[in-house]
């Protein structure tokens, strides 16, 4: 039988690869489930759930008592200031969700109808959707193993052979359309090769907009993700590291971009004591004050959550060290990941085990999930341009997210 430690999250010295009663090594699925139990015990666990252990009730009550629960109130301003202070960005603009944040950021980056925007094929659909909201066309690029993000080396080679520069603009040689922007996404909280992608953006005249929806609390060479490009965007959905229920934000160091983002996301209404005057097409993307109140309390707890998620990673790392054929995704060199979603990466020769593992772990009460279906395989995007996606196609068959809540060790102990 499996010899388990007496307390979840604490590994025993001498822990050995488990065998069944006949002395035969367990299957890979058995070993993965055993490793999960070593860390979080026999109880079931969801993939990721929010934690409310701070001033959430206090701030929400204050918001309700004030009656300012919608678009006006002090918590929105405070949340934006706190976000800017935490990330090191000069400006933060809070909005209703991460997709809205990326939509507006792309518009302000100059993305127009029929432009193309380079985005990873390995991403959540919101990245591609935001491009289409601008009337633009997603152009899918490959991802690499070390970061799960954009492969800057392969992208450079691809653009070198498939684009040309015309009047300072990057033009797709096949379609004749302008490639306006590059959107790297920090997958599961792991920082992408920002030096590489920034160099590509600079050399090929592309606006760089970071999709940092999953990487609040992640740092690339000591600097927070989402602060390298012209703009960066965040998400505070219920499954993110911190949540405002729904919500997102735009980060930028450009004061004029921040002002314009705030204007567009508040219906482009001009200030006036009583009249409703709007000077351009705007969007009702405002974050309500009640959501911002929740966000302020969550931000206060963020350092504690990040430490807990790192401790969970360390426990998982020790547990899975004895399981051959799979590794736990670790933060890239010289980076600090928030470990939003802990991720198993199967060896290439075990790719056919992914669905077996997903079925077995979920049947055992441990919620696990695969990565997203690659964007070019989804019906709305099948005809979009793309480079060779061998890296992403390999990764998507080998990635499994495992339970990752910041309170998991505490709750399961």
3-state class percentages of the chain: helix first, strand second, coil last, to nearest 5: 40, 20, 45
Residue 409 has pLDDT above 80, yes or no: yes
pLDDT, tens digit (0-9, with 9 covering 90-100), for 292-331? 999 999 999 999 999 999 999 999 999 999 999 999 999 9
DSSP calls for 339-370: -SS-EEEE-GGGGGGHHHHHHHHHHTTB--EE
Q: What is the pLDDT of residue 220?
A: 98
Residue 2 has pLDDT above 80, yes or no: no
Partner residues linked to 343 by β-bridges: 401
- The fraction of the chain above a pLDDT of 90, given in percent, is 91
Cite the beta strand spans of 255-381 per DSSP E.
326-328, 335-336, 343-346, 369-370
Top-level CATH class of 56-299?
Answer: alpha beta
- Domains of the chain, residue spans: 28-51+302-412, 56-299
Q: What is the DSSP letter of 305?
A: H
Q: What is the mean pLDDT of residues 166-181?
A: 98
- Nearest partner of 306 among 241, 385, 214, judged by Cα: 241
Q: What is the pLDDT of residue 412?
A: 47
| Cα 248 from Cα 252, distance rounded (Å) | 14
Top-level CATH class of 28-51+302-412?
Answer: alpha beta
Q: What is the mean pLDDT of residues 43-56?
A: 95
Q: What is the pLDDT of residue 3?
A: 39
Q: What is the pLDDT of residue 23?
A: 56
| Cα 127 from Cα 118, distance rounded (Å) | 10
Q: What is the pLDDT of residue 26?
A: 79
Give the confidence band of 102 by pLDDT, cuts at 50, 70, 90.
Answer: very high
SS3 call for 109: coil
């Amino acid at each position: 039988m499996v010899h388990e430690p007496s307390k979840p999250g604490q590994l025993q010295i001498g822990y050995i690869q488990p065998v069944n009663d006949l002395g035969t090594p367990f299957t890979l699925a058995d070993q993965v489930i055993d490793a999960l139990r070593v860390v979080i015990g026999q109880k079931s666990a969801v993939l990721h759930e929010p934690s409310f252990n701070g001033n959430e009730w206090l701030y929400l009550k204050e918001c309700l008592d004030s009656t300012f629960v919608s678009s006006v109130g002090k918590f929105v301003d405070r949340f934006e200031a706190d976000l800017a202070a935490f990330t090191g960005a000069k400006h933060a603009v809070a909005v209703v969700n991460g997709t809205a944040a990326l939509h507006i950021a792309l518009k302000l980056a100059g993305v127009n109808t029929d432009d193309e925007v380079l985005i990873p094929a390995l991403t959540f659909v919101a990245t591609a959707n935001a491009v289409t909201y601008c009337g633009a066309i997603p152009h899918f690029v490959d991802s690499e193993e070390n970061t799960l993000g954009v492969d800057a080396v392969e992208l450079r080679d691809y653009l070198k052979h498939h684009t040309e520069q015309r009047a300072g603009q990057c033009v797709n040689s096949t379609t004749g359309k302008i490639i306006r922007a590059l959107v790297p996404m920090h997958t599961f909280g792991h920082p992408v090769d920002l030096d590489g992608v920034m160099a590509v953006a600079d050399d090929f005249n592309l606006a760089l907009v970071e999709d940092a929806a999953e990487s609040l609390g992640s740092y690339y060479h000591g600097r927070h993700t989402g602060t390298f490009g012209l703009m960066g965007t965040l998400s505070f959905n219920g499954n993110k590291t911190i949540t405002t229920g729904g919500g997102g934000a735009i980060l930028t160091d450009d004061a004029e971009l921040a002002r314009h983002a705030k204007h567009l996301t508040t219906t482009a209404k001009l200030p006036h004591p009583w009249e409703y005057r709007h000077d351009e097409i705007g969007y009702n993307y405002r974050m309500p004050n009640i959501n911002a109140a929740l966000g302020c309390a969550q931000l206060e707890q963020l350092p504690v959550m990040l430490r807990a998620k790192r401790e969970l990673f360390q426990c998982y790392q020790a547990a899975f060290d004895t399981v051959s054929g799979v590794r736990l995704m670790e933060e890239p060199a010289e980076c600090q990941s928030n470990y939003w979603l802990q991720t198993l990466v199967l060896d290439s020769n075990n790719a056919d085990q992914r669905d077996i593992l997903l079925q077995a772990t979920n049947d055992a009460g441990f919620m696990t999930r695969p990565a997203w279906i690659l964007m070019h395989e989804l019906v709305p995007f099948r005809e979009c341009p793309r480079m060779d996606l061998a890296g992403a196609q390999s990764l998507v068959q080998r990635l499994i997210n495992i339970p990752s809540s910041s309170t998991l060790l505490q709750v399961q102990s």
